[in-house]
Structure 1
Amino acid sequence: MVLAAALALVAALAQEFADPREEARRQKQLLLETAGILPTELIVEEGRDLFYRRGPSGKTMEACDFGLGPGVLEGAAARLPRYFLDTNRVEDLDSRILTCMTRVQGFRPEQVRRSEVVALAFYIASYSTGKPIQVRLLFPQERELYALGERLFYARSGARDMGCATCHVTYVGRRAGVLPYADVLGKDKSWTNWPAYRYSNDQAWTMQDRIRACYTVIGHPGPELYSLPILALQLFMAYHANGVVVEEWPAFVR
């Protein structure tokens, strides 16, 4: 009886402290063997259909500029967030999709569903697999937002007096499952995890969703989607991932 309980505890601890990357690879392989296809592939295909769907203006998203010219997707997501002249603001992939759907395609903001934005993000990001992250701070708006992102990343707040850096800098290597999101001393490979499908909760997330979830973990109200704090944190983290090659977008994670 005691031995059985001890073995169960050891098994539970082993699962808790398992390398999340290795476990994700194992789950991915199991899903491929049983279903023959990954959820990421299905969502990318959904995003492809949405990309070529005509909006009220009669235009598809081929008319949208994601930073490299209208309709150019190859490597575009790996260069975001960035400043766009047409909106006079810094945008990440999610917010740029929202801009394109409303300003170019003619959808009203209330007509834009979050699931569609995520599917489009999966499709567009898939064109940056194998590309290096290239985020610059050329415009004053980018530099100002980067400074805000840095302050937010290291700020401690909420009911638990925690912040991004508490987990992703202080506890890296000291707590199971904690990965470096913005290690300012080196290149951050975990930035390339998002957008991703999370098999643990069967959800498709972009970095915006990940940031909002992190705020919930630290006991702090999450920023609104497409809001300035989310954009600022993304710009700060992406800048410190410069040069890292995207292994797979969208990714398959825990």
Structure 2
Amino acid sequence: MKTTIKILGAGCAALALVAGGAFAGPDDDVLSIDGEVIATKVKAKEGNPIGDTLISGWHYRNDETQALQMDDFDNPAFVYVQLGEELWNTAEGESGQSCADCHGDATESMKGLRARMPTWSEVGQKPWGLEQWINWSRIEHQKASELKWDSQEMLALNAYISVQSRGMPVEVDISGPLEAWWKKGEELYYTRTGQLDFACASCHEDYNGMYLRSDHLSQGHTNGFPLYRLKWQGLGSLHRRLTGCVQDTRAEPYPVASDELTAIELYVAWRGQGLSVEAPAVRQ
């Protein structure tokens, strides 16, 4: 009985902290990178539970963090982009082929790909994000070994491919077999978990714009992933961030690359349709 009271108390205390915290709406700054204005505030599509306007997480960061993303020279994630370009052109596996041997110039062949992720895989019979597609291509075409999900090599390739879509609107498909995965993602998004009894929606809908400790709660969009997080001092995947969110509720997280996280990835991407791809973004 005492244990139950303690758990409920922790959840109530956390909710009170959010509800009683200071409110600071997103700023009105403009994200421009190398002269290109990135769409960070757009009208939500009909049926989006967020409301009328979608707002990028960039608007919830302080000026110093925002500035890092506005210049590729200052953006610490571009060390990974440069490595990704090298890997793109490096022969791998028994085939002795590079990514470029099949796909050519990534600035052309990969343009728009990140904006559509995750997409349906007939091979896997499930939606795949960029990480799954990269590993499938390595195994199928290069006859090379899989890369670990958050390895430097995987993150670098992900960042290099993703930046080719920067500035393009997120536009995911949820038709056909993807609809069931979208519904599963929606269900998980609103499911409360852990000792704190939080759902994704608790922070990113109910208390959006408020502070949870030092974290300014955003709408929780994924258009910047993979992104450089100052807390991590490195680049990280969306699944790493989702895992951390679940852990913050004092719950057992879903494994990286699990069906649960993939379903959430699809659902949250749908919520952010219309926002520009920012990857690789910079966050606190």
TM-score by length of structure 2 reads 0.70
Q: Does 1:144 align with 2:183?
A: no
Letter aligned with residue 203 of structure 1: G
2:192 to 111, 136, 156: 156
Of 87, 97, 116, which residue of structure 2 is paired with 1:59?
97
Counterpart amino acid of residue 91 in structure 2: R
* Mapped partners of 1:48, 1:24: distance in 2: 30
Q: Out of 251, 260, 263, which is 1:229 matched to? A: 260
- CA shift for structure 1 position 38: 2.8
Secondary structure, counterpart of 2:282 in structure 1 = strand
User: Could you tell me which residue of structure 1 aligns to residue 13 of structure 2?
Assistant: none
Indicate yes or no: 2:170 matched with 1:170. no
Are 2:241 and 1:210 equivalent residues in the alignment?
Answer: yes
1:39–1:30: structure 2 CA closer, same or farther, 3 Å change rule? closer
The SS at the match of 2:131 is helix
Is the CA contact 1:64–1:100 (under 8 Å) kept in the aligned structure 2? no
RMSD over equivalenced CA pairs, Å = 3.1
3-state DSSP of counterpart to 1:204: strand
Alignment of 1:1-254 (within 5 A): 21=59, 23-27=61-65, 29=67, 37-56=74-93, 57-62=95-100, 72-109=109-146, 114-140=151-177, 142-176=178-212, 177-181=216-220, 190-246=221-277, 248-254=278-284
Q: What SS does the aligned partner of 1:123 have?
A: helix
**Aligned-pair CA distance for 1:223:** 1.7
- In the alignment, the residues of structure 1 paired with residue 280 and residue 186 of structure 2 have an alpha-carbon distance, to the nearest angstrom, of 26
SS at match of 2:77: helix
Structure 2: tracts of 5 or more residues without a match: 1-20, 27-57
Give the Cα–Cα distance (whole angstroms) in 2 for the partners of residues 41 and 89 of structure 1: 31
Give the 3 Å change call, closer, same or farther, for CA 89–131 of structure 1 in structure 2. same
The Cα of 1:106 is off from its aligned counterpart by: 1.7
Instruction: Give, in whole Å, the separation in 2 of the partners of 1:146 and 1:25.
Output: 35
Query: Is contact 1:193-1:253 (8 Å) kept?
Result: no
Work out the CA distance in 2 between the residues paired with 1:54 and 1:237: 35
Shift of 1:22: 6.3
Aligned length: 226
What's the secondary structure of 1:233's corresponding residue? helix
Name the structure, 1 or 2, with higher relative contact order (CA <8 Å, separation 6+): 2
CA–CA separation in structure 2 for the residues paired with 1:110 and 1:251: 22
Structure 2 distance, partners of 1:113, 1:243, is: 27
How far apart, CA to CA, are the structure 2 residues paired with 1:64 and 1:146?
32
Larger deviation, residues 197-206 vs 126-135: 197-206
Distance 2:218 2:148 in 1: 36
3-state DSSP of counterpart to 1:136 = coil
The alpha-carbon distance between structure 1 residues 92 and 214, as it changes in their structure 2 partners (threshold 3 A), is same
Task: Tell me how far 1:24 sits from its aligned partner.
Answer: 4.6
- 1:134/1:111 Cα in 2 relative to 1: closer, same or farther (>3 Å)? closer
Distance (whole Å) between structure 2 residues aligned to residue 29 and residue 170 of structure 1 = 28
Q: CA 1:42/1:24 → structure 2, altered by over 3 Å: closer, same or farther?
A: farther
> How many angstroms apart in 2 are the aligned matches of 1:192 and 1:139?
23
Q: Which whole-Å CA distance do the structure 1 matches of 2:198 and 2:61 have between them?
A: 27
Say which SS state the counterpart of residue 108 (structure 1) adopts: coil
